[in-house]
Structure 1
Amino acid sequence: MSGIELASLVQQLREELALALVQAEGERIRFELGPVELSLTVTVGREAKPGSKIRFWVVEAGAEATFSREAVQEIKMVLTPVDTTAKPGPDGKPAPIRISGDQLPGER
Structure 2
Amino acid sequence: MSDFSEIELSTAVRAIREQLVQAALDGTGAPIRFEVGPIQMDFAVELRREAGAKGGVKAWVLSAEAEARASRATTHRVSFTLTPKDAATGGPVEVGEPEAGGTSRFGAGR
Give the count of matched residue pairs.
Answer: 94
TM (normalized to structure 2)?
A: 0.73
Match of residue 91 from structure 2: 95
Matched, 1:77 2:73: no
Q: Which has the higher mean CA deviation after the structures are superposed, 15-24 or 61-70?
A: 61-70
- Which secondary structure state, in structure 2, belongs to the residue aligned with residue 69 of structure 1? coil
Give unmatched runs, 5+ long, in structure 1: 87-93, 102-108
Matched, 1:25 2:25: no
CA root-mean-square deviation: 2.0
Which of 7, 11, 24 is 1:8 aligned to? 11
Give unmatched runs, 5+ long, in structure 2: 98-110
Match of residue 44 from structure 1: 47
TM (normalized to structure 1)?
A: 0.75
The one-letter amino acid paired with 1:84 is: A
Structure 1 outlier segments of 4+, above 3 Å: 48-51
